[in-house]
Amino acid sequence: MIYFIESESGHVKIGYTSVPIKSRLSALQTSCPFKLKLLKTIDGGRKKEKELHYIFRNSHFRGEWFKKTKGLMKHIHCCGPYVVIKRKPEKIDKYPFGGVVLNFKKINSMLSGCDSKDLIQ
């Protein structure tokens, strides 16, 4: 499972866990001086986690922590588990993580409330 955890410091952790999310959150909270809050979980493994790290690389802070940007928060709250990249589909497979297959019909129906200028570019 992939999780998004927000810290009071203004950062978001994008991580993977195979243990129950409550256990993972508790373990992270023990070593973190800031209050942590679970934002969302989605299905996925380590490959999906790496894809998300790559996509949000411009807001990378340290380790698996990212700056809390408008684009990242929009992805978490509005766009669900899908990532929309404004590119021709044939270019998607050039990412180092091996590519992403996107179901554009399903994405379009899920994004009806999202503003196109807020999508990841």
- On the question of pLDDT at 85 being above 90, the answer is no
Q: Determine what percent of the chain is predicted with pLDDT higher than 70.
A: 64
- On the question of pLDDT at 1 being above 80, the answer is yes
In the chain, what are the domain boundaries?
Answer: 2-118
Mean pLDDT of the chain: 76
Q: Once rounded to an integer, what is the mean pLDDT over residues 106-118?
A: 48
Picking from 10-24, 45-59, 82-96, which range would have the lowest pLDDT averaged per residue?
82-96
Look at residue 76 in the predicted model and tell me its pLDDT.
86
- Which tokens belong to 98? 């091996």
| Neighbour count for residue 38 (Cβ, 10 Å) | 15
Look at residue 74 in the predicted model and tell me its pLDDT.
87
Of residues 76, 35, 46, 42, the one with CA closest to residue 59: 76
Residue 4 φ then ψ, to 5°: -120, 115
Look at residue 80 in the predicted model and tell me its pLDDT.
52
Query: pLDDT tens, 30-81?
Result: 999 999 999 999 989 999 999 999 999 999 999 999 999 988 998 888 755 4
Q: Which residues contact 69 (CB under 8 A, 6 or more apart)?
A: 56, 59
Look at residue 79 in the predicted model and tell me its pLDDT.
57
Of residues 86, 73, 81, the one with CA closest to residue 106: 81
